[in-house]
Copies of this chain bind each other. A is one copy, B any other.
């Protein structure tokens, strides 16, 4: 084995071990044994376990980032569904060992490891923005994408512990949550709203977005929801009328102005009433 080959082999073996167990449960001896090498030989290539850990994390980061690559073809939600399939597959095979690191409680966390994690998050964000194909994404949209990535991370880490839903459901839900987050952002940003029509027009009825739309439409058949939402959309409710949005007022049956324990501050969005 050449020097380079041996180095690569040691990293591959270390990645395999570090993917299954937390770093404190993997020793240099374990790595040497799995690689069919001696302990001094491992030390010849790497100064210690932390260096080997960081190198294997770097390798994992590159593998994961490569899974984000997806052709710019077809409905957006289906592209994201495929990416999430590959991502969740990665989480299943490498997640157990790196969970503590991502949760922030790993003994092996360092400036080096967080740089790798940040790079992966950035790669995910840039891929998604590239697929959205919006020339200059607003700060709000960038934040939406970043927050959704955090959602995907934490959701899949929690899933590793509980496995409370089938993996395919998790995959679908994450994609649908992205569609919802995108729609919410568009509701605040007219420039993005102008793009949203063509996004929906490209979607298929049996894809994640089509299924989401029908699931949400199904909610309106549940008693009470349609009436309540219609009232909110009209800007009035049966229990409390008189809001500054409609300007419609009258004798409210509710002595307290619409819905606040702190009447005066309530309607400011900054309603951060100190207790």
**Chain A residues packing against B (C-beta within 8 Å):** 67, 69-75, 78-79, 81-82, 84-86, 88-89, 101-105, 107, 109, 111, 114-115, 117-118, 133, 139-140, 143, 146-148, 150-151, 153-155, 158-159, 162, 164-165, 167-169, 171-173, 176-177, 180-181, 183-184, 186-188, 190, 193-194, 196-198, 200-219, 222-225, 227-229, 231-237, 239-240, 243-246, 254, 258-263, 266-275
Among candidates B143, B194, B223, B267, residue contacting A155 with C-beta atoms closer than 8 Å: B143
Partner of A81, one of B82, B207, B271: B271
Min CB distance A127 to B, Å, is: 14
Shortest CB distance A41–B (Å): 31
Assuming the contacts A104-B114, A139-B165, asked whether A261 and B204 have C-beta atoms less than 8 A apart, the reply is no
Quick one: copies of this chain in the complex?
2
Instruction: State the main secondary structure of chain A at its contact with B.
Output: helix
Q: Report the minimum CB–CB distance from A57 to chain B (whole Å).
A: 12
**Given that A78-B259, A271-B78 are contacting pairs, would A204 and B104 also be in contact in the complex, using a CB cutoff of 8 Å?**
no
Residues of B within 8 A of A219 (CB): 183, 186-187, 193, 196
Shortest Cβ distance from A241 into B: residue: B205
17 extra A-B contacts, CB within 8 A, seeds A82-B267, A82-B271, A183-B216: A69-B275, A72-B275, A82-B263, A86-B275, A88-B272, A102-B104, A143-B165, A168-B268, A171-B259, A173-B184, A186-B219, A196-B219, A196-B224, A204-B272, A206-B267, A207-B258, A210-B243
Rounded to whole Å, the gap between the CB of A160 and the closest CB of chain B is 12
Task: Name 15 interchain pairs, CB-CB below 8 A, sorted by A.
Answer: A74-B267, A74-B272, A79-B267, A82-B261, A85-B272, A101-B104, A102-B104, A150-B151, A177-B181, A183-B216, A200-B229, A202-B239, A205-B231, A207-B258, A217-B233
Q: Which residues of B contact A146 (CB under 8 A)?
A: 154-155, 158
